[in-house]
Amino acid sequence: MIGNDWDNILSKVFESPGYHEFIDKINKEYDNKIIYPPKEDIYKAFKNTSFKDVKVVIMGQDPYHGEGEAMGLSFSVPNGIKLPPSLKNIYKELEDDLGIKPSTSGDLTKWTKEGVLLLNSTLTVVKDTPNSHSKMGWDKFTDYIIKLLNKREEPIVFILWGNYARSKKVYITNPKHLVIESAHPSPFSARSGFFGSKPFSKTNDFLIKNNIKPIDWDLNK
């Protein structure tokens, strides 16, 4: 289904009656409404970053709901799509933190290849209707993902921006991991603790301290 070690790790989930019942509901939504991201991109975060390669998790809430924006990776939009305000602020903090010039593209695929799991809590959304699938049951699936990663021996950095993402901290109990939390990068809250939080340098300092190759955050290369 995914094409890497997640398939084996999640095989019990994918084979369970509850999951089949749930995914039938999601498929009906795709049949009857305009749903984002494209169906083939629902599990893109997992396809791009295998379980064993996860160094960092950046937690989002649900996909962008505008046409052509959602691509299955939290905070990321395809090349050529106008940068969303939150992503502009992420780039601003990245420049302030590490001196990396903002990319003109909102495609964060390069980060996923570096070991950054760009995970939304809800993996689908109805066009122009934010949080429309938040009660569908995706939380059970993605909370389970966090719990699986929490059990891993190799240290992981969990980046939780905003109250919704921070509510997931309850599942991150392994002292080997680092949780970085702050206000959301949205224009409504970025000045309330996101700007100046230095999540990118803190992440790399932690990885280096644990003898793990740091993330190359520069999207311009």
DSSP structure string for 35-92? EES-GGGTTHHHHHS-GGG--EEEEESS---STTT--SSTT---TTSPPPHHHHHHHH
Query: What whole-number distance in Å separates Cα of residue 133 and Cα of residue 122?
Result: 7
Q: Report if pTM > 0.85.
A: yes
| Residue 62 appears among annotated catalytic residues | yes
Q: How many helices (H) and strands (E) does the chain have?
A: 9, 6
81: tokens are 């799509």
How many domains would you assign to the chain?
A: 1
Q: Residue 221: inside a domain, yes or no? A: no
- The pLDDT of residue 187: 97
Q: Residue 161: inside a domain, yes or no? A: yes
Q: Residue 164: inside a domain, yes or no? A: yes
Q: Which residues of 37-58 are buried (b: 16+ CB within 10 A; e: fewer)?
A: beeebbbbbbbbbbbebbbbbb
Q: Residue 183: inside a domain, yes or no? A: yes
Q: How confident is the model at residue 167 (pLDDT cuts 50, 70, 90)?
A: very high
Q: Which domain holds residue 196?
A: 5-209
Q: Residue 216: inside a domain, yes or no? A: no
Q: Residue 12: inside a domain, yes or no? A: yes
pLDDT at 94 over 90: yes
- The pLDDT of residue 1: 86
Per annotation, catalytic residue among 53, 62, 205, 216: 62
pLDDT at 180 over 90: yes
Q: Residue 165: inside a domain, yes or no? A: yes
Summarised one tens digit per residue, pLDDT across range 1-16 is 899 999 999 999 999 9
Q: Residue 203: inside a domain, yes or no? A: yes
Domain at 36, CATH number: 3.40.470.10
Summarised one tens digit per residue, pLDDT across range 25-80 is 999 999 999 999 999 999 999 999 999 999 999 999 999 999 999 999 999 999 99
